[in-house]
Amino acid sequence: MNSSRGDYSMSRIGIMGGTFNPIHTGHLIIAQQALTLLKLDKIWFMPAGDPPHKNNRILDKDNRKRMVELAIQNNPDFELFTYELEKERPSYSAITMTELDKLYPEHEFFFIMGADSLINFDKWYHPEIICEHTALVCADRNNIPDDKLEMVKRQLEDSYGARIYLVDTPQLEISSSDIRKRLAGEPASARYMVPEAVYEYIVENRLYM
């Protein structure tokens, strides 16, 4: 389902944001783990429009949107949420989550991120505002020790009143940057790092090559 606004009966919504440049299998596994372990009703995959913190080459939003559609098409619990793609402004999580909280007051949001993002969360744009409008879900440990994550968790809880959930996920050495490098060199080496439909779309349209 492709949504920017709509009538949703479910209340516990996971937000899986990112440039998805491209979306890969690791994203889907993290989303499914969060959905299952936190008993969420849906995961909204929210591709970023113009991320202010990334200045490397990012594929145009139409191609990134289409790859997300293909990646999640067989999972009814996953939905494409195009809110940030439709905005003519940089994608700041603090602004987006404030707006979503107003648009969907019946929902409880869970913002999914990796451990590296959690550790640097205090450097984000207005982290205190983000914490007002969503819980944080650290669903990719990136081999960071549990004691360090617990320390960061306590610090963010004390500083911002954050609600933080640490979720165990399989450790997969998959990243969008590595996939792009593989596609530029030996495309077949990236084949099973992304869903098959995404791989076929990338090859057919010669993306990242």
**pTM for the whole structure:** 0.90
CA angle in degrees (0–180, nearest 5) for 58-133-32: 60
Segments of the chain scoring below 70 in pLDDT: 1-10, 50-56
- C-alpha closest to that of 49 among 7, 4, 112: 4
Closest CA to 181 of 60, 63, 70, 56: 56
Q: Quick check: 71 and 198 in contact, CB under 8 A?
A: yes
Q: Which fold has domain 8-173?
A: Rossmann fold (3.40.50)
Pairing outcome for strands 108-114 and 12-18: parallel
Domains of the chain, residue spans: 8-173
Torsion of CA 61, 193, 44, 2, to 10 degrees: 50
Question: What pLDDT, in 10s, does the model give residues 118-157?
Answer: 999 999 999 999 999 999 999 877 778 889 999 999 999 9
What is the crossing angle of helices 25-37 and 61-72, to 10°?
Answer: 60
pLDDT, residue 89, reads 79
